[in-house]
Amino acid sequence: MRVHLVTGGAGFIGSRLVRQLLSDSEAVIVLDALTYSGRLENLQELEGDKQFQFVHGSISDSKLVNRLVAEHQPDVIINVAAETHVDRSIDEPNKFLDTNINGVFVLLETALDNWHKYSKEKRDGFRFLQVSTDEIFGSVKTGSVTETAPYRPNSPYSATKASSDMLVRAYHKTYGLPVVTTHGSNTYGPRQFPEKLLPLFILRALSGMSLPVYGDGTNVREWLHVDDHVSGIIQALRMGKTGQAYNIGSGVGLQNIDVIKMLCQILGTLSESRTSKDFDSLIKFVTDRPGHDMRYSLDISKSLDELEWKPTVKFDDGLASTVKWYIDQRSWWEPITEGQYSLNRLGTSKEL
């Protein structure tokens, strides 16, 4: 049984990854700072599992990270911890630099120091996996980008993720640390904090609030269900070559406005008192945010070939099940909306 240290394991993608690893009979230690989007509720059903341990703390805390790695000697470190929301990075970029760059530096230094102390067999099997994003490549004009495309980040968020990816690559090239990096596309599904487009618009629509669409709504995102994202990460961990990066995408590129209209249609079919037209009427176009990328698109042929992985969740099905989850799980999101977050969009946003 291999020991996995998963940072950010109480978040949206992290908690789904943790549950999958445990179901695969792996041992998991979660390190999470429990900032606004990391929630113990995401891991509640794992209480009592002898193969699971939760530690509250930040990846920027070098003493804590060193103690954890030295004590548990993980076979795998998967870094999912990150500040992730572009709008928040516009308002508070300093937090993104601390977690996404300095925190990754702390993890790499600690991993390297302890990796050298492992036996040869354990060193050979060790992996440091960095979970990254398609946003590092910037706006894609035509076609799809491969893993070797140049980094062109356009927001403080994507710039810090690009920086951490480069650090990960450097620790492999300079020190030989066995690393793998994944670039995931726009991920959606249950337990996503309601600042991201889909959960935000689902909950605002259910509350009768406006649906503020940036610009003219024609920005294109590649939508990937969280289950597919997690299966891609695990395959990259198990089959990926050290020093390599792998794109984890769906091939489903849709304009934001089209996704929002699909969302309204689904809400209309599930509502007893409102129609899809009622929800459509909530759509309001607002000033675009600064540095807003027009289009993302990943070439996943390398992952299909080397990882023997492919996405399986159809977007129509995934979107419908996600909407239903939020409708059914009010006890999960109501404490958020009644507490520190009132479903407001962040960054620069003024109605036209």
Residues involved in catalysis: 134-135, 157
Residue 275 has φ and ψ, to the nearest 5°, of: -100, 175
Q: Which amino acid is at 15?
A: S
Q: Which residues contact 159 (CB under 8 A, 6 or more apart)?
A: 153
Strand partners, 4: 28, 76
What DSSP character marks residue 260? H
Q: Whole-angstrom Cα distance, residue 283 to residue 152? A: 31
Nearest of 136, 6, 2 to residue 59 by alpha carbon: 6
Q: Whole-angstrom Cα distance, residue 280 to residue 270? A: 14
The length of the chain in residues reads: 352
Tell me the three state secondary structure of residue 303: helix
Left (φ > 0), alpha (ψ -120 to 50) or beta: where does 47 sit? beta
Q: How far out from the chain centre does Cα 102 lie?
A: 18
